[in-house]
Amino acid sequence: MNKYPLWKYVLLAVVLLAGFLFALPNLFGDFKAVQVTPRDGQLDPSVRFTVVEALKEAGLSDVELREDDNRLLALFTRDDDQLKARDAIDNALESRQNIIAMNLVSAAPAWLRSFAKPMYLGLDLRGGVHFLMQVDMEATIKSAEERYVSDWRRDLREQRIRGVSVGHRNDRISARFRSAEQRDEMYEVFRRDAFDLDFDTREEGEFFYIDAKLTELAADEEKRAALQQNITTLRNRVNELGVAEPIVVQQGLEQIVIQLPGVQDPARAREILGATATLEYRLVEGTAADWYAAGNSGTAPAGSRLYTQRLDGAPILLSQDIIVTGDQIKDASSGIDQQSGTPAVFVNLDGKGARRMQAVTAENVGNLMAVVYIENLIDYKEVDGERVKVTERVEEVINSATIRDVLSHRFQTTGLGADEAANLALLLRAGALKAPVEIVEERTVGPSLGADNIRQGFLSAVAGLVLVLIFMAWYYRVFGLIAGAALVVNLILIVAVLSTLQATLTMPGIAGIVLTTGMAVDANVLIFERIREEIRAGSTVQKAIDAGYEKAFSTIADANITTLIAAIVLFSLGTGPIKGFAVTLSIGILTSMFTAILGTRALVNLVYGNKRGAKLAI
Amino acid sequence: MMRNLIHNSKIDFMGLTRSTWIMSGALVILSLLILLIRGLNFGLDFTGGYIVEVGYPQAADLTVIREALATAQFPDASVQNFGSSQDVLIRMVPQEGADKALVSQRVIESLAGTTDGELDLRRVEFVGPQVGEALREQGGLAVLSALFAIVVYIWFRFEKKFSVGSVLALVHDVVITLGIFSLFQLDFDLTVLAAILAVIGYSLNDTIVVFDRIRENFRSMRRGSPAEVINTSINQTLSRTVITSLTTLLVLSCLLIFGGKIISGFALALIVGVVVGTYSSIFIASAAVLRLGITREDLMPVEKEGADQESVV
């Protein structure tokens, strides 16, 4: 007799029901939504009111609104309505306080949404932009080491040692002395509180050197901090762009992955994410005559630096001391200057910056102050047949004006174009990148291709399933039908697990599901062939069933574990879409073991378990 | 009654090994030669560069597009139809100078004049050369580490000779699949690499089923030479081998036909891999086990046998 205890049926029923429920949200499809998220995280009732009014005005009445997770969603079924609503809401709401983005949200009923979500679709299925950014770690280390250069110069001044040249050359900080005594003296001084440096001394010709590099530990810490801060800054910038459900994560030790679902304009995203623009405020030195003299000779007098003016390319001298840097800007917005009618950036300094600005301007009323616009551009050049990365730092004076009054924390800067002003304000708000980044990979999938991919993936999955079902039913008859039922349940379980884990479903992921459909029946084929063998060998029906399942089990386990090993290796290789394939394949292997062994056995027992001497339709 | 594609087969597989080894050896050497001479047609993922896929409202005029691109200083761009006459795929190698990420932007802009209707921007991809290089290394590493992990598992679960046999079969499958991709210069991208790893998984699946039966039969068949035992095992599992390959090929054909161009390379690699893998589990893996001199003693369970051993024959 082949009977399963009641608890096994209960277990199967529970798994089946749970699988069905968790897979269910995927049947409802998506609403096209306009999403309003308040920047401070608190959804104000007035926002809802404003949105309703704005939608009414745009001729979109009876719009379904939904509030969850502190966001307000206006739901639509048509793309046009969504776009219209986005523009209307964008105009009506203060974008400084709210992030307005387009999104796809589940159309499943509320009771279902409360515990189950549909699968998370990858960019290749829903459309969007993917960036891989390489953080320039060489530059990070270099700038960290350069901080010591000024420490060394200070030490030398304090020790009254002159004629020493200090600088950052060939990836190390280097000080060149004329005598060994001075060198040895300073060696002790430099080492006193520089725990992060590895020191070295050497002699070359008539000179004596101290070289230093960051220790490996310190360099790693420096890199880690740069990466973390860049991620924070990039997250802020992505939020400024108004993207729903963005992903900004670390990949490896030097790279950052950014995924912006639904974004159709990679140019704008690229411009904002990779930008390094920032501002500096400095006092102007000397007169116009001094500037041109310095411009012609190419050298600046002591204490000042030579710049060019953006407007006419003319030279200008600025003080070596910076009053305020972009880091000290707490908030910024762009608009139009009331007096000149030109675009302006309105800047709000933090406490430290404001105090410094106040002190400097109080002493310098009547003098000129300049605003320097700084940008890092990365380029590749061919040098001796090798590709060399060149970071070019562009520094331009965008405006210089007489200080009329003492400035404190709020003031404005003109001299930029309207777009530039808007972008700069955004960048100042989001914070500067600690290390320069470079986009090393970009993938944009348009919405039409995403929709095609879903359609084609779905079609091949269904076609594959139907063919396998027909074949199995023809070849194994009742047992084939049972295996087919298990296969369908297996698919439901895969979808349920993917939905619950919120793993990303990609096109290769769908391919993995399709492949699993073909391979999952293998377990049943193994079992059924065994049963046939047993029957041929003269076994009774009940014995044959039992022996078939029994003997096939270890084979099935071995075969699946090795496939699982391959899938895990694939996962660890892991770039985006391929990971998706590995995930669905692994899940498929595990769920198919359950359905093909336990599930079919339950059905077989149900159909044949009580029939002594029955003939098997296998 | 039972439907049988294969029933009671008594094929002398091991007797065929001389000719199949010569054939496989020749195929492997040929594949290696082709790989050496023609190399793989690495896709964007591995080489770096640009891909822009656009959809035109009507059939696209490739000549006009090429001219537009040449005017925009992209004379080396390769322009071809992709899937349909309305879809156009533009490929370019990494460009020197200029802001890398902006190149695709300029390509798109230069296409604006090539149609009166609206262009549907379907896909833009840019992969930096350093990323491609890293992926090539990682890819090779992944295949090798998968093979290694599997050797260890089979050694642990079966026996050294089985381990060697299965790896021989896997290398055979991977080399021939790669050879076919090289021969026809099919695009070798990341999804194809994933397919190669899936081929390893599948082929192994097949091999293990046969091995399992060989082990079982060595323990239960009192008579018969190792060649006879292996022959019996393969014949007993032949029906299963064929049916599973058939269902897998069924779904893969669906993927190839309906899945679209992006996934077609994946489906093709797996189709080749499944066919070769099915063959190799019989003629390479099992034959190698025989050649390595497997004996009944190799497979006897360590514990005292008897009580739990059923007699099948």
Contacts 24+ apart (CB under 8 A), B137-140: B138/A573, B139/A573, B139/B46, B139/B190, B139/B193
The answer to whether B125 contacts A511, with C-beta atoms less than 8 Å apart, is no
Give the pLDDT score at B82.
87
Q: Average pLDDT, stretch A368-378?
A: 82
Distance from C-alpha of B83 to C-alpha of B77, rounded to nearest angstrom = 19
Q: Is A391 on the interface with B (CB under 8 A)?
A: no
> Which residues of chain A lie closer than 8 angstroms to B261, CB-CB?
none
Residue whose C-alpha is closest to residue A563's, from A524, A593, A600, A601: A593
pLDDT of A593 > 50? The answer is yes
Break chain A into its structural domains and give their ranges: 6-25+453-608, 30-107, 138-215, 275-432
Question: Strand ranges (DSSP E) for A403-449?
Answer: 410-414, 437-445
Distance from C-alpha of B85 to C-alpha of A169, rounded to nearest angstrom = 57
Q: What is the DSSP string of A243-295?
A: -SS-EEEEETTTEEEEEEET---HHHHHHHHS---EEEEEEE-S-HHHHHHHH
Write the residue in B139, B239, B270 that is nearest to A515 by C-beta.
B270
Ranking A33-37, A405-409, A577-581, B83-87 by mean pLDDT, the lowest is A577-581
> Which residues of chain B lie closer than 8 angstroms to A392, CB-CB?
none
DSSP A598: I
Mean residue pLDDT of chain A comes to 87
Tell me the residues of chain B between 196 and 255 that have a Cβ less than 8 Å away from chain A. 197-198, 200-202, 204-206, 208-209, 212-213, 216, 236-237, 239-240, 243-244, 246-252, 254-255
CB A227 within 8 A of CB A217: no
Q: Is A395 on the interface with B (CB under 8 A)?
A: no
The answer to whether A379 contacts B97, with C-beta atoms less than 8 Å apart, is yes
Tell how strand A207-214 and strand A255-261 pair up.
unpaired
Write the residue in B146, B194, B209 that is nearest to A565 by C-beta.
B146
Distance from C-alpha of A285 to C-alpha of B136, rounded to nearest angstrom = 55
DSSP H helical segments within A502-611, as ranges? 507-536, 541-573, 576-593, 600-608
Give the pLDDT score at A1.
66
**Which of A318-332, A406-420, B168-182 shows the highest mean pLDDT?**
B168-182
The residue in chain A having the minimum alpha-carbon distance to the alpha carbon of residue B126 is: A442
Substitution target in A578, A585, A589, A592 with the highest count of B β-carbons within 10 Å is A578
Q: A138-215 — its CATH code?
A: 3.30.70
Could you give the angle at which helices A137-158 and A180-192 cross, rounded to 10 degrees? 110
Residues A491-500: tens digit of each pLDDT: 999 999 999 9
Report the percent of chain A where pLDDT is more than 90: 33
- The SS3 of residue A187 is helix
Q: How many CB atoms lie within 10 A of CB A314?
A: 14
Count of all residues that appear for chain A in the document: 618
Give the pLDDT score at A577.
65
The residues, ordered by sequence, that sit 6+ positions from A405 with a Cβ below 8 Å of its Cβ are A361, A365
CB A212 within 8 A of CB A198: yes
Dihedral, A607, A608, A614, B1 alpha carbons, nearest 10: 70
What distance, in Å, lies between the first and last C-alpha atoms of chain B?
A: 23
The answer to whether B149 contacts A582, with C-beta atoms less than 8 Å apart, is no
Farthest-apart Cα atoms in chain A, separation:
113
CB A237 within 8 A of CB A99: no
Q: Is A584 on the interface with B (CB under 8 A)?
A: no
The answer to whether A270 contacts B101, with C-beta atoms less than 8 Å apart, is yes
* Domain formed by A30-107, architecture: 2-Layer Sandwich (3.30)
Give the pLDDT score at B204.
86
Residue whose C-alpha is closest to residue B166's, from B281, B25, B15, B19: B281
Q: Is A330 on the interface with B (CB under 8 A)?
A: no
Distance from C-alpha of A197 to C-alpha of A216, rounded to nearest angstrom = 9
Per the structure block, which two tokens stand in for A578? 């391929």
Ranking A53-67, A453-467, B161-175 by mean pLDDT, the lowest is A53-67
Q: How far B304 CA sits from the closest chain A CA (Å)?
A: 20
How many CB pairs below 8 A link A and B?
Answer: 238
* Domain formed by B49-127, architecture: 2-Layer Sandwich (3.30)
What distance, in Å, lies between the first and last C-alpha atoms of chain A?
A: 18
The residues, ordered by sequence, that sit 6+ positions from A618 with a Cβ below 8 Å of its Cβ are A476, A477, A478, A479, A528, A531, A532, A535, B2
The distance from CA B97 to its chain's CA centroid, rounded to whole angstroms, is: 37
The residues, ordered by sequence, that sit 6+ positions from A230 with a Cβ below 8 Å of its Cβ are A133, A135, A256, A433, A434, A435, A437
Residue whose C-alpha is closest to residue A47's, from A28, A70, A63, A64: A70
Q: Which fold would CATH assign to domain B14-42+131-299?
A: Multidrug efflux transporter AcrB transmembrane fold (1.20.1640)
Q: Average pLDDT, stretch A162-177?
A: 86
Give the pLDDT score at B97.
56
ipTM of the complex: 0.88
Q: Is B81 on the interface with A (CB under 8 A)?
A: no
Distance from C-alpha of A572 to C-alpha of A8, rounded to nearest angstrom = 35
Q: Is B301 on the interface with A (CB under 8 A)?
A: no
Distance from C-alpha of A517 to C-alpha of A512, rounded to nearest angstrom = 9
**Cα→Cα distances A414→A276, A279, A367, A593, Å:** 19, 12, 18, 68
**Cα→Cα distances A339→A77, A400, A401, A415, Å:** 47, 16, 14, 13
Q: Which fold would CATH assign to domain A6-25+453-608?
A: Multidrug efflux transporter AcrB transmembrane fold (1.20.1640)
Surface-to-core class of residue A435, CB atoms within 10 Å of its CB (0-12 exposed, 13-18 middle, 19+ buried): buried
**Which of A38-52, A167-181, A465-479, B294-308 shows the highest mean pLDDT?**
A465-479
**Which band of pLDDT confidence, cut at 50, 70 and 90, is reported for residue A394?**
confident
> Which residues of chain A lie closer than 8 angstroms to B5, CB-CB?
475
Break chain B into its structural domains and give their ranges: 14-42+131-299, 49-127
Handedness of CA A586, A588, A591, A592 (dihedral sign): negative
Q: How far A305 CA sits from the closest chain B CA (Å)?
A: 29
Q: Which fold would CATH assign to domain A275-432?
A: Gyrase A; domain 2 (3.30.1360)
Ranking A313-327, A386-400, B145-159 by mean pLDDT, the lowest is A386-400
Residue whose C-alpha is closest to residue B90's, from B99, A129, B109: B109
Write the residue in B125, B239, B254 that is nearest to A442 by C-beta.
B125
- Consecutive H or E run containing A381: strand A368-383
Q: Is A447 on the interface with B (CB under 8 A)?
A: no
Per the structure block, which two tokens stand in for B153? 């598992």
Substitution target in A255, A442, A546, A550 with the highest count of B β-carbons within 10 Å is A442
Q: How far B265 CA sits from the closest chain A CA (Å)?
A: 11
Phi-psi region of A179 (alpha: psi -120 to 50; beta: other; left: phi over 0): beta
Tell how strand A197-204 and strand A247-251 pair up.
unpaired
The answer to whether B246 contacts A471, with C-beta atoms less than 8 Å apart, is yes
The distance from CA B99 to its chain's CA centroid, rounded to whole angstroms, is: 37
The answer to whether B204 contacts A566, with C-beta atoms less than 8 Å apart, is yes
Give the pLDDT score at B304.
46
Q: Which amino acid is at A266?
A: P
The answer to whether B243 contacts A475, with C-beta atoms less than 8 Å apart, is yes
Residue with more model confidence, A109 or B9: A109
The strands making up A343-349's β-sheet, listed across from edge to edge, are A329-336, A343-349, A410-414
- ∠ at Cα B124 (B65, B77), nearest 5°? 35
Helix/strand/coil (H/E/C) assignment for every residue in chain B: CCCCCCCCCCCCCHHHHHHHHHHHHHHHHHHHHHHHHHCCEECHHHHCEEEEEEECCCCCCHHHHHHHHHHCCCCCCEEEEECEEEEEEEEECCCCCCCHHHHHHHHHHHHHHHCCCCCEEEEEEEECHHHHHHHHHHHHHHHHHHHHHHHHHHHHHCCHHHHHHHHHHHHHHHHHHHHHHHHCCCEECHHHHHHHHHHHHHHHHHHHHHHHHHHHHHHHCCCCCHHHHHHHHHHHHHHHHHHHHHHHHHHHHHHHHHCCHHHHHHHHHHHHHHHHHHHHHHHHHHHHHHHCCCCHHHHCCCCCCCCCCCCCC
Residues A254-279: tens digit of each pLDDT: 999 999 988 877 777 887 887 777 78
Distance from C-alpha of B263 to C-alpha of B257, rounded to nearest angstrom = 10
Give the pLDDT score at A382.
62
Residue whose C-alpha is closest to residue A127's, from A501, A444, A580: A444
Distance from C-alpha of A466 to C-alpha of A412, rounded to nearest angstrom = 68
Phi first, then psi: what are they for A527, rounded to 5°? -65, -50
The answer to whether A379 contacts B99, with C-beta atoms less than 8 Å apart, is yes
Q: Average pLDDT, stretch A330-348?
A: 85
Domains A6-25+453-608 and A138-215 share a fold: no
Residues of chain B with pLDDT under 70: 1, 95-101, 301-313
Distance from C-alpha of A279 to C-alpha of A281, rounded to nearest angstrom = 7
Paired residues of A71 in beta bridges:
A68
DSSP A405: S
Distance from C-alpha of A126 to C-alpha of A447, rounded to nearest angstrom = 6
